[in-house]
Amino acid sequence: MRTSSRFIFLRTPMTSEVIDRRARTFDSDDQPNTASSKEHPMTDHVTIARHYIELWNERTTSRRRELLSQNWTADASYVDPLMKGDGQDGIDALISGVQQRFPDFKFKLLGEPNGYGDHLRFSWGLGPDGADSPIKGTDFAVLKDGRIRSITGFLDQVPAGA
């Protein structure tokens, strides 16, 4: 190997295997994770975002709890500039509070959700059916095994007094 002050030059040629090689992940003991991708559920970011919106619009407590159980981890968390919820009970309580404050409003997806790996970003609107949403935001999710582990929300548009 020949070195210079700025670069290290390798005597072996670079091959396409460098590009094709799959990223290695490590477990909590810093050991290489050898699990195949078939052992992990495929993350469908659009479906996860739609289930998220469905949850916020669900008015029946038992159904909302079912959706939380199916789509969120037990230790999930939610935070935005106005509220915070920890665990499925805390998240259910804050959703119920938003529904009580805005009884005639519904959430809807704005644009196309996108993400990579265990990260998801999507925008939403909150307002009356058939009208432009006066409240808009963008949420960032961290996923675990295809379920929401945490949401960090940003409020992009909030009218005075909302």
Answer yes or no: is 17 within a domain.
no
Mind listing the pLDDT tens digit for each residue in 106-157? 999 999 999 999 999 999 999 999 899 999 999 999 999 999 999 999 999 9
List C-alpha distances in Å: 20 to 9, 14, 41, 114.
Answer: 21, 12, 22, 24
Answer yes or no: is 13 within a domain.
no
Instruction: With a cut of 60, say whether residue 98 has pLDDT above it.
Output: yes
pTM (predicted TM-score): 0.73
Answer yes or no: is 136 within a domain.
yes
153 φ, ψ (degrees, to nearest 5): -105, 145
Domain count, the chain: 1
Q: Which residue range is the domain that position 132 belongs to?
A: 44-157
Q: Which pLDDT value is given to residue 28?
A: 52
Q: Check which CATH number belongs to the domain holding 49 and give it.
A: 3.10.450.50
Mind listing the pLDDT tens digit for each residue in 46-55? 999 999 999 9
